[in-house]
Chain A
Amino acid sequence: MSLDDLYKEVILDHYKNPRNKRPLPEATVSKHKNNPLCGDDITIHARLLDGKVTELAFEGQGCSISQASASMLTEAVQGRTVEGAGDLAREFRAMMEGSVDPDEDAFGDLIALKGVAKYPVRIKCAVLGWDVLQDALDGTPGA
């Protein structure tokens, strides 16, 4: 267990330069959650059209892991079908539980978060955005 496994360059880059961090007026659904333990806070805005996630953005504040994970999520999920997005969310959670060794090519930047699994208290930070995404995918538009 070492800090380098947790705070990889790519994670710090997403934290300092978050992708798709903005409001999304054309969103069909926005969902929000926080982690009361540390005050991490994520809102996901999604535009869902014809069973596809055509556009995705997030807003929020919190620790580097929660914010970097949400930033990576918006890139990884954009353009996927709703079903495909749900699959990725499940695979991500499985990676955090350490039960799956994901395909590095398919996972892209997200693979950098694998090291979080070694810090049990921080797993909640990494999956927060994905929980919100799941709510958005399951939820009724505009809720």
Chain B
Amino acid sequence: MATVKEAAVDARRIREDFPILSRQMAGKPLVYLDSAATSQKPRPVIDAVMDFYERSNANVHRGVYELGVVATELFEGAREKIAGFVGAADPRTFVFTRGSTESINLVAHAWGRRFLEEGDEILLTELEHHSNVVPWQLCARDTGAELRYVPITDEGLIELDSVATMITSRTRLVAITGQSNVLGTRPPIREIAEMAHEAGAVILVDGAQLVSHNPVDVTALDVDFLSVAGHKMLGPTASGGLYGRLELLETMDPFLGGGEMIQEVHPNESTYKEPPWKFEAGTMNIAQEVGLAAAVDYLAEIGMKNARDHERELTAYALERLSGAGAQIFGTMDPDLRGGAISFWFEDIHPHDLATILGDQGVAIRAGHHCAQILMRRLGVPATARASFHVYTIRDEIDALVDGLEVAREVFG
């Protein structure tokens, strides 16, 4: 056991940058294993937000005074940095949103409702989070398009053969997660993008988990849309955005109507700005995106390949420890094929009971359906317990989780 090392990332050093990790929970040292729900924030991100409000706050794209220029430069500078982080060379291809959910809703509204028709097909998978299901259900209801789901294997994987079977000449969109928030599954996005394009379809990748744990390059992956959740990648809540291929963004409808997204407004009609500003109505989440730029700097310094290697090592260790303790793990046991979200059952203890008992030991895990009821039904369980990691997670914390399972066994014994 324990043949892997935490070599890729010096997580113990990194932890010093996260003030919250020194607090206690239920009177015990906090063991935060719920980073798939939201990540913790390092000091440079907290400082960037505070600094913005203390020194640079003004509305953007409006004030002609110096402070307005400073705020606008920070905001647009953040766009360039975050776009670059996911491999988008042109910042015009990156629309700011409150996160992954809003990004997918933007595409469902501004692209889906504009271009989809009765008889068209939207291809999803059984892995999808509700944020990549419900917007398409609403879109399908309004357009007459039909939803189809690529099945997963018993190991929770997406096979290219299954995708090939499900893609038809009527498929207009493939919307798929880059990394499952429940099983950690990482579908082969580049290959699926190629298949989608061959069929004349557009591909959207739900990047909520993918971008926070892996190097991502939209150009190399050749995807048309990628949603980015800032709060899962060490950034503030309500930060993030949508990468979109420029030709698509140009032809799409606006999303929200309001100030700043227009060229000219007349009593019965308006003209709109160019992308990305066409999609950014009203006062935006300025401080949050500036904070996310600081998070991107922080992650870039660690290196996303190192972050992925660290997560892979922790995942391998956790899979070994958890299964050794008798936990039933959902999804593949191959750490090369998955990220660090591990769903499990322990004994017959309901995940909610398990999470309460672990919480009492200072260990924060998630219990529930993880906004993936379609997947829960496929797995045949009402809920799972889930442990998930980030760059600041250390093996001691996985040991604390396994120790906590023993306490649960005693309570329910």
B-side interface residues, number (CB < 8 Å): 19
1/0 per residue, CB under 8 A from A, across B343-358: the answer is 0000000111100110
A6-B356, A64-B353 given; A38·B26 CB < 8 A: no
Residues of A within 8 A of B369 (CB): 36-39
Given A3-B411, A41-B382, A119 and B376 touching (CB < 8 A)? no
For residue B381, which residues in chain A have a CB less than 8 angstroms away from its CB? 39
Contact B350 A64 (CB under 8 A): yes
Quick check: A122 and B356 within 8 Å, CB to CB? yes
B residues with CB within 8 A of A = 26, 350-353, 356-357, 360, 367-369, 373, 376, 381-383, 407, 411-412
A61 close to chain B: CB less than 8 A: yes
Q: Are the CB atoms of B352 and A63 closer together than 8 Å?
A: yes
Majority-rule SS of B interface residues: helix
Q: Which residues on the A side are within 8 Å of B367 (C-beta)?
A: 38
Q: Answer whether A63 and B368 are a contact pair too, CB < 8 Å, given A7-B411, A39-B376.
A: no
- Count chain A residues whose beta carbon lies closer than 8 angstroms to a beta carbon of B: 21
Q: Tell which of B360, B368, B411 touches A38, judged by Cβ atoms closer than 8 Å.
A: B368
Hey, which bits of chain A sit against chain B, CB under 8 A?
1-3, 6-7, 12, 36-41, 61-65, 119, 121-122, 125
- Central interface residue in A2, A39, A64, A125, by most chain B CB within 10 Å: A39
CA distance A63 to B412 in the complex (A): 12
B382 touches A62 (CB 8 A): yes
Most A-side CB within 10 Å, residue of B373, B376, B382: B382
CA distance A119 to B26 in the complex (A): 12
- Which residues of A are found within 8 Å of B383, using beta-carbon distances? 38-39
The chain B residue with its CB closest to the CB of A116 is B356
Q: Which residues of B contact A121 (CB under 8 A)?
A: 356
Nearest B residue to A124 by beta-carbon distance? Answer: B352
Closest A residue, CB atoms, query B349: A64
